[in-house]
Amino acid sequence: MINRVFLGKYYENYKISRLGDTYEQVNSKYDSKKLSDLSLIFEQIASKQNVSLYIFDGFSYSDGIFLITKFPTNMNEAQSERLQSEIIDYYNKTRISENSDKNEKTATRLLIKTDKYSIYRHFDTRLEVNYIELYGILDCGDRIFIRSNYDNITESAGISNTFFAYVGLASIFIGSLLMYFIGVGFTKPIQRLSEMTKAISNLNFDVCYDESRQDEVGELGHSINVLSEKLENTISSLKSANNELKNDIKKKEKSEEMRKEFLSNVTHELKTPIALIQGYAEGLRDNIQGDEESREFYCDVIIDEAAKMNTMVKRLLSLNELEFGDNKPQFDRFDIMSLLNSVVNAMNMVYKQKEVSLEINGNPSCFVWADEYLVEEVITNYISNALNHVEEDKAGKKIVSICVRECENKVRVSVFNTGKPIPEEDIERIWDKFYKVDKARTREYGGNGIGLSIVKAIMNSLNRECGVKNWDNGVEFWFELDTKA
């Protein structure tokens, strides 16, 4: 379309400029006296500019002109005569009409006029060919006629249009392919990044941009990876903090529950001994029993109940330290058998008074790693609990048996006493503070339901196991310790 609209006018102006240049070259070199020397130069000019060039004398003849020279020189006689006839027409101005209709093929239209030459566009009706023709006067007075074929532009434009059409189609096809592949190469990672952002928005941080592009898309993918990692770490930290907060809240709630339970249990446990102390103290004051023996009995009851309260308070304080981590265990290596013998010897009088057969089974020596003071507390509680609950078996014997068994890197210490098994519904609760299976019997021997709670708290602080097992003829309490550090 551009060729059709603009190429014709451009080509016409180009031809006018070339003819003007040709005129200037010839005018600058022309000398009629040295024409033989200039013949080759003019021949080259005509050939290079693709024009026909005529030079003739400056005098008018009614029947012809005097031709000085022509280029190209190989023009035949008929062509030369016909061209001379046209030159005469120009010279006589019989064909020139500057105001002729530009759309008429028969018109000879003036294109440009200067002091030295005029340039026309002429249509040859016989050959049906358009020419661009220059008619002018040289500085020496001779006249010059230069002709160039104009119709070549039509053919050239057609060829050019066809060529550009093919080139355009090929460019469109190749461009479409390039745009497709470039588009796919560009949109695919964009789609990947879009999928990543959607996954990250759903808190899925497993996605990762792993392409090694070195452009803006690659930088964006790397930035999203960094953002995803930071978000994951931040959310992880928030979850950890949230979990710690929940644990702190639970711990606080548990502490509050324990505090309330502690106050309730202490109040309950102290109510009976305080009532007894108060009653017997009032009896002493009012001298209800005036004899010396009664006063001593009253005093013994008060002293005994006060001692029980003192023991209970001390054990509660000890249990509180263990449960809240104030009493940190100190691990040492010691002989568990030696510790057992020491505790048993200290309680020798008690089990003799109760006519209990107490025996220790195990190797003479067995070393373990633990806090010796805390383990002694566990053993003392287990043996005291066994002595308080031991009953005669079928043979009429009261037996408390302590057994030490080694297995791999652990030692299990168990304390068995003959008697009634613990009811299954009470087994899980016997480790709770102030819980008593037989409240009447516990009151009889002065128990307060704290001993097994202390055992559980000690074993938790040591990160070791403890437990209870019912047998047909009694109950076995046990705990485990490590033999290696």
Confidence of residue 251 (pLDDT cuts 50, 70, 90): confident
**With 80 as the cut, is the pLDDT of residue 344 above it?**
yes
**With 50 as the cut, is the pLDDT of residue 103 above it?**
no
| Distance between CA atoms of residues 316 and 298, nearest Å | 27
Kindly state whether residue 260 falls inside one of the protein's structural domains.
no
Mean pLDDT calculated for residue range 27-53? 79
Taking CA atoms, 205 is separated from 239, 298, 357, 382, in Å, by 15, 77, 67, 54
- Residue 61, pLDDT score: 47
Q: How high is the mean pLDDT of the chain? A: 79
pLDDT in tens, 351-364: 888 899 999 999 88
| Distance between CA atoms of residues 95 and 53, nearest Å | 20
Do residues 165 and 120 touch, judged by C-beta distance below 8 A?
no
pLDDT in tens, 269-281: 677 678 778 877 8
Query: Which of 438, 15, 231 is CA-nearest to residue 223?
Result: 231
Kindly state whether residue 204 falls inside one of the protein's structural domains.
no
- What is the arrangement of strands in the sheet containing 67-71, beginning at the earlier edge strand? 67-71, 52-56, 143-149, 129-137, 117-124, 108-113
Quick one: CA torsion of 93, 95, 96, 101, rounded to 10 degrees? 160
Q: Which residue has the tokens 């009694």?
A: 474
Confidence of residue 5 (pLDDT cuts 50, 70, 90): low
Q: How many domains does the chain have?
A: 2
Amino acid letter for position 174: I
Q: Which residue has better confidence, 206 or 89?
A: 206
Provide the 10 A C-beta neighbour count for residue 460. Answer: 14
Do residues 331 and 371 touch, judged by C-beta distance below 8 A?
yes
Domain C-terminal end among 156, 188, 207? 156
What is the dihedral sign for C-alpha 336, 341, 346, 352?
positive
Mean pLDDT calculated for residue range 96-124? 71
Kindly state whether residue 360 falls inside one of the protein's structural domains.
yes
**With 60 as the cut, is the pLDDT of residue 254 above it?**
yes
Categorise residue 85: left if φ over 0, alpha if ψ from -120 to 50, beta otherwise. alpha
Strand partners, 471: 474
Strand partners, 357: 399
Joined tokens for residue 448: 């307060």
| Distance between CA atoms of residues 362 and 404, nearest Å | 5
Kindly state whether residue 301 falls inside one of the protein's structural domains.
no
Domain C-terminal end among 156, 186, 204? 156
Kindly state whether residue 220 falls inside one of the protein's structural domains.
no
Kindly state whether residue 181 falls inside one of the protein's structural domains.
no
pTM for the complete prediction? 0.45
What is the dihedral sign for C-alpha 430, 436, 442, 447?
positive
**334: domain range?**
329-482
Provide the 10 A C-beta neighbour count for residue 465. Answer: 13
Kindly state whether residue 434 falls inside one of the protein's structural domains.
yes
**With 80 as the cut, is the pLDDT of residue 322 above it?**
no
Kindly state whether residue 110 falls inside one of the protein's structural domains.
yes
Confidence of residue 327 (pLDDT cuts 50, 70, 90): low
Question: Is 122 in a helix, a strand, or coil?
Answer: strand
Q: Quick one: DSSP state of residue 6?
A: I
Domain C-terminal end among 156, 179, 201? 156
What is the dihedral sign for C-alpha 450, 452, 455, 459?
negative
Confidence of residue 476 (pLDDT cuts 50, 70, 90): very high
Joined tokens for residue 313: 């308070």
pLDDT in tens, 437-466: 655 444 454 455 788 888 998 899 889 999
Q: Quick one: DSSP state of residue 9?
A: H
What is the DSSP pairing of strand 399-407 with strand 357-361?
parallel
Do residues 476 and 415 touch, judged by C-beta distance below 8 A?
yes
CATH number for the domain spanning 374: value is 3.30.565.10
| Distance between CA atoms of residues 337 and 364, nearest Å | 7
